[in-house]
């Protein structure tokens, strides 16, 4: 619930800023109308940056990898007992 409040607050702030810029006419209207597009592009770049950083810092989990291999082996044994061909090991 907290994230929703943060997002809504951010959107309200940005729309208030945009409306204020439109009314004050400090910046030419042709540039102000492009601000939402710039914001969406910047948000996409930020998202890609966060995904890239997350992939670079992705921790290795050897314990979880072993548990996953055990689960796969158990599932294969169960399927073999049920008469289902699971392929080669």
Q: Model confidence at 88, in pLDDT bands (50, 70, 90)?
A: low
Q: How far is the C-alpha of 21 from the C-alpha of 19, rounded, in Å?
A: 5
Q: How far apart are CA 22 and CA 34, in angstroms?
A: 11
Residues 6+ apart with CB under 8 A from 32: 18, 21, 22
Rounded to 5 degrees, what are φ and ψ at 47?
-60, -45
Taking the whole predicted model, whether its pTM rises above 0.85 is answered as no
**d(Cα 14, Cα 36) in Å, to the nearest integer?**
9
- pLDDT of 24-73, one tens digit each? 777 677 777 787 788 889 888 988 998 888 888 877 778 888 899 999 99
Q: Quote the pLDDT of residue 48.
A: 92
Distances (CA, A) of 86 to 17, 24, 51, 74, 82: 59, 69, 35, 12, 11
Q: Is 76 exposed, middle or buried (0-12, 13-18, 19+ CB in 10 A)?
A: middle
pLDDT value, residue 89: 55
């Amino acid at each position: 619930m907290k994230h929703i409040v943060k997002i809504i607050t951010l959107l309200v702030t940005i729309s208030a800023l945009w409306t204020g810029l439109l009314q004050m006419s400090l910046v030419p209207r042709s540039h102000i109308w492009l601000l939402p597009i710039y914001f969406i592009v910047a948000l996409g770049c930020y998202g890609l940056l966060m995904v890239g950083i997350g992939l670079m810092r992705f921790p290795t989990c050897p314990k979880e990898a072993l548990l996953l291999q055990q689960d796969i082996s158990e599932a294969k044994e169960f399927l073999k007992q049920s008469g289902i061909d699971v392929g080669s090991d």
